[in-house]
Homo-oligomer: A and B are copies of this chain.
Amino acid sequence: MLSATVFEDGGGSKEITDHDRISDLVGEPACLLWVDVLDPSEDDLKLIQHEFSLHPLAMEDLRHPGQRPKVERYDTHAFIVAYASNGNPRHLSELNLFVADGWMVSVRHSYKGDGCVDVLNIGARFDRTREGHNTVGFLLYTLLDAVVDTYFDALDSTEDELEEIESRIFVVDGPNESSLQQDLLVLRRELLLFRRRVVPLRDVLQTILRQEVRPVREDVQRYFQDVLDHILRVIDTLETQRELLGNAVDAHLAVVNNHMNDIMKKMTSWGAILFGAALVTGIYGMNFEYMPELRWHYGYFVALGWMLLLTTGLYTWFKRKGWL
């Protein structure tokens, strides 16, 4: 699905529905053209390659999703790959951007029909704030800022999962045990894959800030500095969450080990208590001809009494020792 918008220098923007007019607008100095393609068909790709003379190597990347976030500079344009989240750290959709003087092309791959970044909203925001900055650099900033904002939503989600897991660490018993292990594994994997999509974006921003991406002029550098600062915060938070998760894993392992000690102490204690009683029954089960107690009238009840005494005595002793 291809849509094209023109932002005129004097203010005001309009949607271009007739795609043949795009070629006229490329190179037009008084306006800024943004072409956005969602889930491009082969025809869309051919159209934009032809209209904007995109480099074949970049086109090949477009056709093979799953690229690393990066920036590539070609003679007439730069090519940027980034990922946006729809608030869930597992749902990352690829975003390919071509920027040149006077135009930007964004090619988005949606995640289960969700394009993750709301281009209408970004266009409207750009329209509102572009005064004095009707350049592709400021448009790129507006877009990347929105992309990085989606990361904070994703971080909130992982933060919640982390807290939920931490609250379950010290509860060893119960049927949720193996699901805790699975949740830990899932969250670790989530943080790992998310981080892999965010960290290289730092290098992209640093390349822009070293002014190596020509269409981005010096007057908007400050804004990209702000985006970089947000990315650093995201990475910082991700690292912290990873370490906290690592701590949680360690703590849980220690808790499991301690729990085993507890079980063994219980087992030993009950074993001793029951065995004590059994020993009494064994003794009076012997078949000696002369065993005076056996002839006593209340011998049986005395034996039961002994067993009870032994049992409660051992029980109290183990209880006091903290084994039961």
A interface residue numbers (CB < 8 A to B): 55, 57, 67-68, 70, 72, 74, 169-170, 172-175, 177-178, 181-182, 184-185, 188-189, 192-193, 196, 222-223, 225-226, 229, 232-233, 236, 240, 243-244, 247-261, 263-268, 270-272, 274-279, 281-291, 293-300, 303-304, 307, 321-322
The answer to whether B68 and A184 have CB atoms under 8 Å apart is no
**Beyond known contacts A68-B236, A72-B225: 4 more, CB 8 A cutoff:** A181-B251, A278-B282, A285-B285, A285-B287
> Nearest CB to that of A81 among chain B residues?
B229
30 A-B pairs, CB-CB below 8 angstroms? A67-B233, A72-B229, A74-B222, A173-B322, A175-B322, A181-B251, A181-B255, A184-B251, A192-B240, A192-B247, A193-B240, A260-B261, A264-B267, A266-B268, A267-B267, A270-B272, A272-B274, A274-B275, A275-B278, A281-B282, A281-B285, A282-B282, A284-B286, A284-B288, A285-B285, A285-B287, A288-B296, A288-B303, A289-B299, A290-B298
Copies of this chain assembled into the complex: 5
CA distance A249 to B185 in the complex (A): 10
Residue among B169, B178, B283, B294 making CB contact with A170, cutoff 8 Å: B178
- Whether A244 contacts B192 in the complex (CB less than 8 A), given A67-B233, A278-B279, A278-B282, comes out as yes
Q: How far is the CB of A178 from chain B (nearest CB, A)?
A: 6
- By Cβ-Cβ distance, the 6 closest A-B pairs, closest first, are A281-B282, A284-B286, A288-B300, A285-B285, A267-B268, A291-B300
Within 8 Å CB of A277, what residues of B? 279, 282
Within 8 Å CB of A285, what residues of B? 281-282, 285-287
Q: How far is the CB of A166 from chain B (nearest CB, A)?
A: 8
The answer to whether A286 and B303 have CB atoms under 8 Å apart is yes
The answer to whether A261 and B256 have CB atoms under 8 Å apart is yes
CA distance A306 to B152 in the complex (A): 64
Within 8 Å CB of A240, what residues of B? 192-193, 196
Within 8 Å CB of A181, what residues of B? 170, 251, 254-255, 258
